[in-house]
Amino acid sequence: MRNFLLAALLSALACPGQSTDDHARPNFAEDVASILVRHCAACHRPGEAAPFPLLTFEDAKKRAKMIARVTGDRLMPPWHAATGHLAFVGERGLSDAEIGTLRAWVESGAPEGPRDRSPAVPEFPGGWRLGTPDLVLEMDEAFEVPADGPDVYRNFVLPLGLDADRWVRAIELRPSARKVVHHSLFFVDTSGAARAQDGQDGKPGFRGMGFASGAARGRRGESGDTLGGWGQLGGWTVGMTPQFLPDGLAMPLPRSGDIVLQTHFHPSGKVEHEKSTIGIWFGEKPKRTLTAIQLPPLFGALWGIDIPAGERRYEVRDSFVLPVAVDGVSIGGHAHYLCTDLRATATSPDGDEIVLLDVPRWDFGWQDRYTFAQPVRLPAGTRLDFVLHWDNSADNPSNPHDPPRRVRWGRESEDEMGSLTLQVVCADEADLPALRAATQQHVADGTRSRVAREAKQRVKELDDDGDGKVAIDRLPRAWRAIAQRADANSDGMLDAGEIDKADLGGGLRRR
Ligand code: HEC
């Protein structure tokens, strides 16, 4: 009862023109419908990601109790960034008053009210969220997603065939099998490598997640974007609202070549057929270049993520000092099921800290990218600290393993990976080479320390007599070339001191 009165009071405060009495017994037509249209209908309508529509009185009445519960717990509308920090574009969320109205409506029996006062259900433009695209590409043939079994990662090749190079302001994916498409990363391939693999196993596209690194490496020279985040051209995830890049920003799109959709499917128990369509919106060449700072780089591959079974709070953090001033444009995280929370802060040279993104309850199913409502100026010398946590205990309801198993870095969704990616433009475009040099150095440093860590681990494992040294010819073959370079006193033995002093840059590639 107290909650009920509080709800009524809050609604009354939110709508001072109406008497408390009206709002103590809110009805669908006058009070509830407008909330559902504004905050729910984007997903809860036919053909969209949510499992049922919430447009009419009948839709809402059937699920009234559930609506009160999920809104009261702030599970719906889905929005995982903590509020009270920087504002983001398209922020989803209900006010306390709106939550109170929904609760009061349910508690008073979910009445319909005067049907003619109900707001008209808005027209949703024919599918595309951003209006009519400049270019629409569609898969030739549908890909069959099995009913069950492990997650499927599949790459689909869409030839571009443009008359000129273009700049892209937005790409929107429209999956045909929304129940099973978890996310999709967009790449450009100008090498023909993707096309050559397409359909080789008799099905549309080709399997695996290896393409991403190949594409990134192939384009490294051009874009310098070695810390790249959501692929080269962005991505799509369940529940995401596609957006134009802000401030006239755009991504380069070469005239020839192919767009590759790297799609992650999560089987639903029923065979599904996916025939993706993408819409692309073109713009002018931007004055400033969008670039990405991903910490830890390469989704944590260099950090040797290795989470013991039962570990409740496994942490990965990485820091990076900006060599030049930048404007933060957007930020997003990526991790798998076991991740519990992630957070990115920026500390100015004066010691002032701002929270760039705080996701206190990470949910694998909702991987959003958050665009700042205003660009965030970060002066040269600002330190970025990005941190992620994982819970590999049986108490984590998202743990795919029962009982928990040791989980290491890997590309399948039951492996783990994790990082946050901040997209920026340099405050002064002339500073771009300096920023890229620093981010590339950061990857090189990460590579070096990973190689050192692993080499020391091997030495420890093989050091039977406990003298801290191991004969190089006892090391696994893959490590010998690195060990020979590191063997400073040329005694054919490797020890931890030599590993610390060795130049191990690029060691991973040599393995
Ligand atoms: C961005 C898309 C989106 C928006 C906006 C959204 N929903 Fe949902 N909703 C979903 C999806 C997708 C699911 C399926 C469960 C999941 O994936 O989390 C869902 C599930 C639900 C469920 C079922 C929960 C359960 O436990 O089975 C309810 C009830 C619900 N939504 C109500 C709402 C209400 C009420 C609003 C508006 C206040 C809303 N949703 C806004 C996408 C959305």
* Total Cβ atoms within 10 A of residue 192: 12
Range name among 108-112, 333-337, 380-384 with the lowest pLDDT average: 333-337
pLDDT of 508 higher than 50: no
Tokens of 216: 């990134």
Which residue has the CA at smallest separation from atom 42 of ligand 1?
Answer: 50
Q: How far apart are the first and last CA of the chain?
A: 67
Mean pLDDT in residue range 151-173? 92
Higher pLDDT, 23 or 202: 202
DSSP annotation of 88: B
| 138 vs 13, residue with greater confidence | 138
Residue 138 CA to ligand 1 center (angstroms) comes to 28
Architecture of domain 291-427: Sandwich (2.60)
Q: How far is the CA of 52 from the centre of ligand 1 (A)?
A: 8
How would residue 324 be classed by pLDDT, with cut points 50, 70 and 90?
very high
Mean pLDDT in the chain?
Answer: 85
pLDDT-based confidence at 456, cuts 50/70/90?
confident
- Percent of the chain scored above 70 by pLDDT? 87
Residue range 447-451: mean pLDDT, rounded: 82
Pick the closest to residue 107 from 23, 18, 16, 41 (CA basis): 23
* % pLDDT > 90, the chain: 53
pLDDT of 394:
97
Task: Count other Cβ atoms within 10 Å, centred on residue 386.
Answer: 27
Residue of 32, 34, 36, 44 to mutate, ligand 1, most atoms within 8 A of C-beta: 44
* 65 has pLDDT over 60: yes
Sorted by sequence, the CB contacts under 8 Å of residue 409 that are 6+ apart come out as 300, 301, 303, 304, 305, 306, 415, 416, 417
- pLDDT reported for residue 237: 77
Among 464, 465, 458, CA closest to 494: 458
Q: Which stretch of 29-33, 260-264, 434-438, 504-508 has the lowest confidence by average pLDDT?
A: 504-508
Check if the beta carbon of residue 151 is closer than 8 Å to that of residue 204: no
For ligand 1, the distance from its centroid to the CA atom of residue 68, given in whole angstroms, is 12
Alpha carbon 421 to its chain's center: 8
Nearest CA to ligand 1 atom 33: 76
| CATH 2.60.120.230 intervals, the chain | 291-427
Q: What is the pLDDT of residue 2?
A: 42
Q: Rounded to the nearest 10 degrees, what angle do helices 2-14 and 96-107 cross at?
A: 130
Partnered with residue 469 across adjacent β-strands are 495
Please, where in the chain does CATH 1.10.238 lie?
445-510
3-state secondary structure at position 10: helix
Adjacency order of strands within the sheet including 418-426: 291-295, 418-426, 326-335, 369-378
Question: Is residue 217 over pLDDT 70?
Answer: no
Q: Does the 135-283 domain belong in CATH 1.20.1300?
A: no
Question: How is residue 397 written in tokens?
Answer: 């309801």
Q: Quote the pLDDT of residue 455.
A: 84
> Which one is the CATH code of 445-510: 3.30.70, 1.10.238, 3.40.630, 3.80.10?
1.10.238
C-alpha dihedral sign at 344, 346, 352, 357: negative
Comparison of pLDDT for 465 and 61, the residue scoring more? 61
Mean pLDDT (whole number) for 243-259: 89
- DSSP letter for each residue of 446-466: HHHHHHHHHHHHHHHHH-TTS
pLDDT score, position 405:
96
What is the C-alpha to C-alpha distance for residues 279 and 234, in angstroms, rounded to an integer?
13
What's the 503 CA to ligand 1 centre distance in angstroms? 52
Q: For residue 502, is pLDDT > 50? A: yes
- Phi, psi of 159, rounded to the nearest 5 degrees: -65, 140
Strands, DSSP E only, in 288-412? Answer: 291-295, 306-307, 314-321, 326-335, 339-347, 353-359, 369-378, 383-390, 407-408
Q: How far is the CA of 178 from the centre of ligand 1 (A)?
A: 14
The beta-strand segments (E) located in 322-352 are: 326-335, 339-347
Q: Give residue-wise pLDDT tens across range 183-215.
A: 888 888 888 888 999 999 999 999 866 544 433
Given a cut of 90, whether residue 182 has pLDDT beyond it is: no
Pick from 58-72, 106-120, 225-239, 260-274: least confident: 225-239
Work out the pLDDT band at 308, boundaries 50, 70, 90. Answer: very high
Closest listed residue to residue 274, CA positions, set 171, 366, 172, 146: 146
Q: Which atom of ligand 1 is nearest to the CA of 238?
A: 12
The residue among 210 and 340 whose pLDDT is bigger is 340
> Would the pLDDT of 7 be above 80?
no
What per-residue confidence (pLDDT) applies to 210? 53
451: number of Cβ within 10 Å: 24
Atom of ligand 1 nearest to the CA of 239: 1
Distance 82 CA to ligand 1 centre (A): 18
The residue whose CA is least distant from atom 43 of ligand 1 is 43
pLDDT of residue 203: 96
Ligand 1 centroid – CA 126 distance (Å)? 22
Is residue 139 over pLDDT 50?
A: yes
**CA-closest residue to ligand 1 atom 7:** 77
The pLDDT confidence band at residue 510, using thresholds 50, 70 and 90, is very low
Parallel/antiparallel/unpaired status of strands 493-495 and 469-471: antiparallel
**Enclosing H/E stretch for 501:** helix 496-501
Comparing 106-120, 368-382, 436-450, the range with the smallest average pLDDT is: 436-450
User: What local confidence, expressed as pLDDT, does residue 280 receive?
Assistant: 96
Residue list, ligand 1 pocket, CB within 6 Å: 39-40, 42-44, 49-51, 54, 63, 66-67, 70-71, 76-78, 92, 94, 238-239, 365
Closest alpha carbon to 426 in 293, 290, 223, 295: 290
Minimal-distance CA residue to ligand 1 atom 12: 50
Is 216 a residue whose pLDDT tops 80? no
Beta bridge partners of 306: 408
CA–centroid distance, residue 274 to ligand 1 (Å):
22
